[in-house]
Structure formats: structure tokens, C-alpha cells
Amino acid sequence: MSNQPYKVLLTDAERFPPSEEDMKTLSAIGAELVGIPYGAKEEELVEICKDIDAVLVFAAKITARVIENMQRCRIIARCGIGYDNIDIGAAADRRIPVTFVPDYCIEEVSDHTIGLMIDCLRKISFSNERVKRRYWDNYEQLGTMRRIAGQTVGLVGFGRIAQAIARKLSGFNMRIVACDPFVDPAVMEAMGVARVDFDELIRSANVVSLHLPLTPATRHCLNEKVFKQMKRGTIVINTSRGALIDERALIDSILSGHIAAAGLDVLETEPPDLENELVKLPQVVVTPHSAAYTEEALAENKQKAIAEIVRCFKGQALKNLVPGSVKHA
């Protein structure tokens, strides 16, 4: 082990401060933690990463330029499931492994997703806001509402979070369909979920919920053409990545009455502009990218990411490399 302490950078440090356990784990291997705040510019990241041995990444964008200027970094550990904010190709070119936490916040995000579904189906936030403004709406003023039992929920992507949603919805007497070419059909069958293709899901579902990574192929996968193919009165839920939805197309579909409501934990730009029309619509429930949050999940997330850094510094095999990553620095 080097006589000099390892330097580990924690991005978004004021939002996700290290716990005593985090510091104890790092101290045990002779590592010191350096923080950089949320919203750090690329130039700031370039400068600080020149002298860093490892990076714990939350929301910061670790671009090719940042990576190309790393002089001694041995691992980039993403604190979370998604890793679209890290240039994996650039890291591979520099032989820097990138890890993630694939089982982070499964319970939290699945709970939050179902909460948004029920909120939109039962118009809970809408009704609450109306009552607080001293309206006591009758059924006609509330508008169309449908029984939850018997509705079809379409899960676009059937990874761990979507599977948890299917398990939890099993008691609601809803029909659940899913599309995911990378999941064994037997997994869906065992859970009582009907396997369909994307087009059939879009046409048949009363609730469409997104559970996809953001890639060039999935960006704006819900767009004007797709919204028109949905049933009138469909509800859209997104707890994955904001850019999966063409927000202008969603706004227009809601204003036309074709899409009944949307429950969104993520937006294309976060935080949103104060004039963002989507956020202002009464049919839209928006939460501040908080679906993943509980004290328990956050603590586990950081500890699992830090454990990968410890393994790297000790020369041990890394457990959760992102697809396309190299195995060793």
C-alpha cells in the first residue's frame, strides 16, 4: 500500500455527506475524502480529478474531458443504478473501471412508482390542491375516474424495479404487461406478467410506466407518435430518466385530453425552469427526483460504492462493473 493517502472525490458532497461509517471504511485503507458540491462545472471537475485516485459519483457529469485529464484515477464508482452521466467509453480507453450499485433503491422506487400511479388514478394531489383552495368538487367537477382493479399496467423495461412493481401490484387485481427483450420470458411468466412488444404495450395499457436506462436508442421513446397510439385517458409514469419522454409532446397530449395524467419523478432539466409548462399542469404530479430516497437506501448505496473502491485499492475483483467497463485500472 502507498505511503501517501489515497484521495477519493465525492461529488455532490453537500447533498450526500459522508457518514461516520463511510469515513471509517475509507480511513481503514488510508484514504481521505475530498468533496465537490452539486452543480460543479466541467472545468472544476477537470481540475480536481487530476489529483484523485478514485471518484464516488452521484449526479455530476464525468465527461470524456474530465476522464482524459485524470492522471492517477484507478476507479469511478457510481452511487446508483443509472450511469448515463459517465462516459463509459472514455473510461475504458483510459483503462479505468466503472462500477455501479444495481440493487440500489429497488424497494423505494417501486413504492414511489406505485404511489404516483395511485395518485394519478385517484386524482389525490389534484383533489388535495382543490380543497386547499376552498373548492369541494362534485363528481362532475372531478372528471372521469376509473376503478383500479381491472386496469392494465404496462411496464416498459422489466428489470429489478419493474419486477418489484409487478410483485407489489399483484394484490390490486390489475393486468400487468411488460416489454423487455433482455429478460427471459420465463421470468415474466412466473410472475403472472404478460410479455408483449412495445407497440402492443402502448396500445393496450391504461398506465404506461417507464423503467429503462437512458441511451441514444431510448431517448424520447415516448414521443408525439407514441402518445397518439395510446388509449385516450392513458396515464404516464416516469421514475427512470426525464429524457425518455419528449416533454413538449406530453404537454400537447395532456392539453388535448388524450393523455389523462402523468406522474413524474424525473424531468429533462432538473431542477425545472420556473416557467416549465409541464410542471404547472394540474394533471401532472411531479416529485423532485426523490423516488430513490430513504435514509436506509442512501446509506447502503454509499457503502456499496465505497466497498468497490476498497476492493480496487486492495487489488481484489470488482463486483458490479457497468457493461462495457474494463475490469482493472
CATH of the domain at 95: 3.40.50.720
322 domain residue, yes or no = no
Q: Give the position of cell 413504492.
A: 111
125 and 87 in one domain? no
Q: What is the pLDDT of residues 236-270, one digit of tens each?
A: 999 999 999 999 999 999 999 999 999 999 999 99
Average pLDDT over residues 286-292: 96
Q: What is the pLDDT of residues 53-102, one digit of tens each?
A: 999 999 999 999 999 999 999 999 999 998 999 999 999 999 999 999 99
The structural domain count of the chain equals 2
Phi and psi of 323, rounded to 5°? -55, 135
321 domain residue, yes or no = no
222 and 161 in one domain? yes
Which H/E stretch holds residue 187? Answer: helix 185-190
148 and 134 in one domain? yes
324 domain residue, yes or no = no
Q: What is the domain range of residue 187? A: 106-286
51 and 18 in one domain? yes
Contacts of 317 (CB under 8 A, 6+ apart): 311, 327
320 domain residue, yes or no = no
Catalytic positions, written as ranges: 241, 270, 289
121 and 79 in one domain? no
Q: Is the CB of residue 57 less than 8 Å from the CB of residue 76?
A: yes
210 and 116 in one domain? yes
Q: What is the structure's pLDDT at 3? A: 62
Q: What is the structure's pLDDT at 54? A: 97
Which H/E stretch holds residue 128? Answer: helix 124-132
Calpha distance 86→96 (Å, rounded)? 12
Tell me the three cell numbers of residue 212: 429503462
Q: Give the position of cell 404516464.
A: 236
Q: What is the structure's pLDDT at 1? A: 44
306 and 160 in one domain? no
191 and 72 in one domain? no
- Identify the CA nearest to 236 among candidates 216, 250, 215: 250
121 and 88 in one domain? no
Q: What is the structure's pLDDT at 87? A: 97
- Identify the CA nearest to 299 among candidates 17, 109, 75: 17
305 domain residue, yes or no = yes
161 and 79 in one domain? no
1 domain residue, yes or no = no
Mean pLDDT of all residues in the chain? 95
Instruction: Work out whether the CA dihedral 252, 257, 259, 261 comes out positive or negative.
Output: positive
Look at residue 188 and tell me whether its pLDDT is greater than 80.
yes
3-state helix, strand, coil in the chain (%, to 5): 40, 15, 45
208 domain residue, yes or no = yes
